[in-house]
Amino acid sequence: MKHMLLSVAVVFAASAVHAEFKLDDRYTDADGDLVADIPTDKAQLVDPAQLIFAYTPVEDPAVYAEAWSDFLAHMETVTGKPVQFFPVQSNAAQIEAMRAGRLHVAGFNTGSNPLAIACAGFRPFAMMAKEDGSFGYEMEFITYPGSGIEKVEDIKGRTMAFTAETSNSGFKAPSALLAASYNMKAGEDFTPAFSGAHDNSILGVANKDYDAAAIANSVKARMLDRNVVREDQLVTIYKSQTFPTTGYGTAHNLTPELQDKIREAFFSFDWEGSSLKAEFEKSGEAQFIPITFKEYWSVVREIDAAMGVQYTCN
């Protein structure tokens, strides 16, 4: 079965294909770190007059444009370039924007990182973490009180909301879990629905539009803190192991000097009293820490391999 995501596609094979993670042919990986190398040909490098930044798709982009405002002002100071917040409506649109050269700095959600790296030349280097250096979120299956769903098996015959095919906690991990541990498949044992974003799924369950949903609990924590939903509207029936959260990085073909300055902006940012802290402390984040895709996303690549996920880029 093949799902088109603008100019990129994700193919879920019928059986597990433990293929090696590979980049699109337009990129090279001479050092074996699983991300695109910075071009050595200066003619392929870009040094844009304005930087475009995008955060992973959310239900209300205006909230996050404000949340990121202090950080983007800091990036302007460090890089010497104006920075524009670009509200994206889908994971596919965000990936396509970077692949086409219209997006320079971004935070891609957990499940989108492999596709963004393979097909758009994304080079992640940072992730949010708590004060003590711990990081990540858990996938939860949620329902609403009185739904009649008290355990995972009760989802059978009901409507289960996912976010998008590229999402780790919103689709890939729950699909693998339901199939491997509960012998339940979408379209056969339950009716799947795609909301487009974690907050859409959470709101959908709270408003009883969906019987259940697979969501990232870090998003739920921030929505509860903003009083978008209430605790008494949601019931958690499953909680997963901890996954890495949004990966932040740059397009591969920015000049090395500019990539260094952008990296500096992330790691020199003072969270205290900032709009970024005001939003993300709701889910415990307090700093940016350095990461590598090869190490920190190994569990995500294992899930993809178990599902037989193969990425093709058109």
pLDDT, one tens digit per residue, over 275-313 is 999 999 988 999 999 999 999 998 888 888 877 877 778
CA dist 172 and 302 (Å) reads: 11
Do the domains at 2-134+245-313 and 137-243 have one common CATH topology? yes
The pLDDT of residue 2: 30
- State the virtual CA torsion across 292, 298, 300, 303 in degrees, nearest 10: 170
Average of pLDDT values for 118-125? 97
Listed by start position, the domains of the chain span 2-134+245-313, 137-243
Distance of CA 191 to the CA centre of its chain: 24
The domain 137-243 having CATH identifier 3.40.190.10: the answer here is yes
Please, what sign has the CA dihedral across residues 93, 98, 104, 110? Answer: positive
Q: Is 48 exposed, middle or buried (0-12, 13-18, 19+ CB in 10 A)?
A: middle
The pLDDT of residue 60: 79
**With 90 as the cut, is the pLDDT of residue 20 above it?**
no
Which listed CATH number (3.40.190.10, 3.40.720.10, 1.20.120.550, 3.40.1580.10) goes with 2-134+245-313? 3.40.190.10
The string of pLDDT tens digits covering residues 220-277 is 999 999 999 999 999 999 998 889 999 999 999 999 999 999 999 999 999 999 999 9
Helices (H) and strands (E) in the chain, counts: 11, 14
Sheet with 51-55, side-by-side order of all strands: 83-85, 51-55, 105-108, 247-251, 122-129, 287-290
Point out the least confidently predicted range of 73-82, 146-155, 172-181: 172-181
pTM: 0.79
The string of pLDDT tens digits covering residues 55-72 is 998 777 788 999 999 999
Q: How far is CA 280 from CA 56, 64, 100, 155, 275, in A?
A: 14, 10, 30, 31, 9
Residue 97 CB: number of other CB atoms within 10 A?
20
